[in-house]
């Protein structure tokens, strides 16, 4: 069978599985050889080699190299916005630490939050803010960074804290009408936005409720490092190194207002980073001049140099407390270069898999095993998860399965909201659980903890697809559109 547009032969199932098997084996070998450092170059090479394997299969089936190269260019270009957002977040983290914004959030967070309810409180705070502004990335890049510092100040687990942040942020993102994925899923499936959101409550609310209970259990049974371990003097160190005050939270408020008013993410984060640089010059002049690293500069040039340094190379400090230094020394444009390289390589692999029809062949194999409504919805969930792994982008994990299965849902008389809900239950929520996915790479870089470390504690993201599959097989809250026989006859006539 040939593609009518290119003349290329359709791939076999074995051909479609070959790049995936190569990817799995090579990634396992990479982790075995390099451990936690595998994401600093080794995994990128694996993704490029896997893309090469997929490309060779495409060429064997009749595609030209130019077709594959064009697909790579297009695939990487799709993630360009995400990559620039990452650079902007790196700059924001650097200037917000220098300006005292993150230290102020940590200082008051340590004072107000208790270990006995920290994890569920973190999840709820991020959920409420995410629901308000519709952006999990903005929540993680602002509140998330501070809450990670608070957890270390309280002697709590960074991995569980990251799981709580991601669970809350993605609940808000998934249920907010301001979210791009919440609008993309119904547009892809052909359902109404608010009908889509209402239908999602049946799988989403039980998932977040169970997640909150689990976070509460972890909080009540948490073993802290004494009175905070190396962070026991965190509040004193912060007040010594920075001028602390609530007025420093103005840039945070500006970012949230811009997000609420639906400004695009990149200019919103960029404005926040520049405000941080201005606040650093005005309210933290000593730290800003120290960061410039040149005692011969005039005061004005030293202030400019320090603020500029925080934008491109982040903040660094030596307080005498190694743990606190590690917490505060981070951020900057340069800190995101490795993450951007990972995303580029992952998107190249996903683009080649799609262009060579290998992804579509895998989806057709899954669809051939579908015999019931429950199995169809579960197949949609599984395909979205697979797209997050292979295509490395949550938008692809929504659009591609939506495009592949929309006709099948219609043929079986299932309302479009069933499809749109499944796309979000898996496509949106499992994206931060894949290390090389744009979302997984972003969360790991922003929160400063490996994806594999926080994955077991992202309870909401793990539970929601499972609950969705269970409800599908139980036939609970599955909305019928038209009788399957009538719909099938109409589709045949058309």
Q: How far is Cα 48 from Cα 206, in angstroms, rounded to an integer?
A: 40
Give the least confident one: 207-216, 309-318, 335-344: 335-344
> Would the pLDDT of 289 be above 60?
yes
> Would the pLDDT of 251 be above 50?
yes
52-109 pLDDT, tens digit each: 999 999 999 999 999 999 999 988 887 788 788 889 888 998 999 999 998 888 888 8
Residue among 377, 373, 368, 383 nearest 484 (CA)? 373
Q: What is the mean pLDDT of residues 452-457?
A: 95
> Would the pLDDT of 278 be above 80?
yes
> Would the pLDDT of 204 be above 60?
yes
Beta bridge partners of 414: 480
Predicted local distance difference test score (pLDDT) of residue 485: 45
CA 147 to chain centre: 17
Residue among 468, 474, 404 nearest 199 (CA)? 468
Predicted local distance difference test score (pLDDT) of residue 436: 86
456-483 pLDDT, tens digit each: 999 999 999 999 999 999 988 888 875 5
Which of residues 334 and 230 earns the better pLDDT score?
334
Residue 330 main-chain phi, psi, to 5 deg = -165, 180
Residue among 182, 191, 99 nearest 136 (CA)? 182
CA distances from 232 to 106, 153, 207, 222, 321 (A): 13, 7, 35, 17, 10
380-416 pLDDT, tens digit each: 999 999 888 887 788 888 888 887 888 889 888 899 9
How large a percentage of the chain has pLDDT more than 90? 44
> Cβ distance 140 to 165 under 8 Å?
yes
Beta bridge partners of 2: 9
Residue among 182, 94, 80 nearest 130 (CA)? 182
Reported pTM: 0.78
Q: What is the dihedral of CA 29, 35, 36, 38, to 10 degrees?
A: -40
> Cβ distance 298 to 283 under 8 Å?
no
Both tokens assigned to 129: 């803010």
Query: What is the overall mean pLDDT for the chain?
Result: 87
Q: For residues 440-476, b (16+ Cβ closer than 10 Å) or e, as one string?
A: bbbbbbbbbbbbebbbebbbbbbbbbebbbebbeeee
> Would the pLDDT of 7 be above 90?
no
Q: What is the mean pLDDT of residues 252-271?
A: 87
> Would the pLDDT of 288 be above 90?
yes
Q: What is the mean pLDDT of residues 359-385?
A: 88
Residue among 376, 461, 422 nearest 191 (CA)? 422
> Cβ distance 370 to 408 under 8 Å?
yes
Helix, strand, or coil (residue 327): helix
Give the pLDDT band of residue 375 (cuts 50, 70, 90).
very high
141-189 pLDDT, tens digit each: 888 988 998 898 888 999 999 999 999 999 999 998 878 888 888 888 8
Find the DSSP H helices in 176-293.
180-189, 193-220, 234-241, 250-260, 265-283, 285-292
């Amino acid at each position: 069978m040939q593609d009518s547009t290119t003349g290329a032969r359709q791939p076999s199932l074995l051909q479609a599985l070959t790049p995936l098997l190569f990817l799995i084996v090579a990634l396992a070998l990479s982790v075995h050889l390099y451990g936690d450092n595998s994401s600093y170059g080794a995994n990128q090479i694996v993704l490029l080699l896997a893309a090469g394997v997929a490309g060779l299969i495409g060429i064997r089936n009749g595609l030209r190299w130019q077709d594959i190269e064009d697909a790579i260019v297009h695939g990487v270009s799709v993630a360009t916005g995400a990559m620039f957002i990452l650079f902007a977040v790196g700059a924001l983290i650097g200037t917000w630490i220098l300006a005292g914004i993150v230290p102020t959030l940590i200082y008051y967070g340590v004072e107000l939050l208790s270990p006995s309810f920290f994890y569920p409180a973190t999840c709820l705070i991020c959920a409420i803010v995410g629901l308000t502004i519709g952006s999990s990335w903005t929540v993680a890049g602002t509140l998330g960074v501070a809450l990670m510092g608070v957890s270390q100040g309280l002697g709590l687990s960074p991995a569980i804290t990251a799981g709580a942040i991601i669970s809350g942020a993605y609940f808000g993102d998934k249920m907010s009408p301001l979210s791009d994925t919440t609008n993309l899923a119904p547009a892809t499936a052909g359902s109404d936005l608010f009908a889509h959101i209402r239908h999602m409550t049946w799988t989403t609310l039980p998932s977040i409720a169970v997640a909150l209970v689990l976070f509460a259990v972890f909080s009540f049974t948490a073993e802290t490092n004494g009175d905070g371990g190396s962070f026991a003097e965190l509040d004193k160190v912060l007040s010594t190194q920075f001028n602390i005050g609530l007025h420093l939270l103005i840039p945070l408020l500006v970012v949230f207002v811009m997000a609420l008013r639906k400004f695009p993410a990149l200019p919103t984060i960029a404005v926040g980073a520049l405000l941080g640089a201005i606040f650093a010059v005005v309210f933290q002049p000593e730290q800003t001049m120290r960061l410039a690293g040149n005692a011969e500069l005039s005061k004005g040039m030293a202030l400019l140099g320090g603020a500029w340094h925080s934008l491109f190379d982040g903040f660094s400090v030596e307080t005498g407390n190694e743990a606190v230094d590690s917490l505060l020394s981070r951020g900057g444009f340069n800190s995101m270069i490795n993450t951007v390289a990972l995303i580029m390589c992952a998107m190249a692999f996903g683009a080649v898999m799609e262009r060579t029809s290998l992804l579509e062949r895998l989806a057709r194999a899954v669809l051939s095993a579908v015999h019931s409504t429950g199995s169809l919805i579960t197949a949609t969930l599984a395909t979205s998860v697979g797209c997050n792994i292979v295509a490395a982008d949550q938008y692809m994990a929504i659009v591609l399965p939506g495009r592949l299965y929309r006709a099948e849902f219609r043929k079986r008389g299932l309302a479009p909201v069933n499809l749109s809900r499944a796309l979000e239950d898996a496509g949106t929520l499992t994206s931060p659980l894949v290390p090389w996915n744009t979302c997984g790479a972003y969360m790991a870089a922003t929160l400063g903890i490996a994806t594999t470390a926080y994955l077991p504690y992202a309870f909401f993201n793990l539970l929601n697809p499972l609950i969705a599959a269970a409800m599908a097989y139980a036939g609970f809250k599955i909305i019928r559109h038209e009788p399957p026989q009538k719909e099938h006859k109409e589709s045949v006539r058309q």
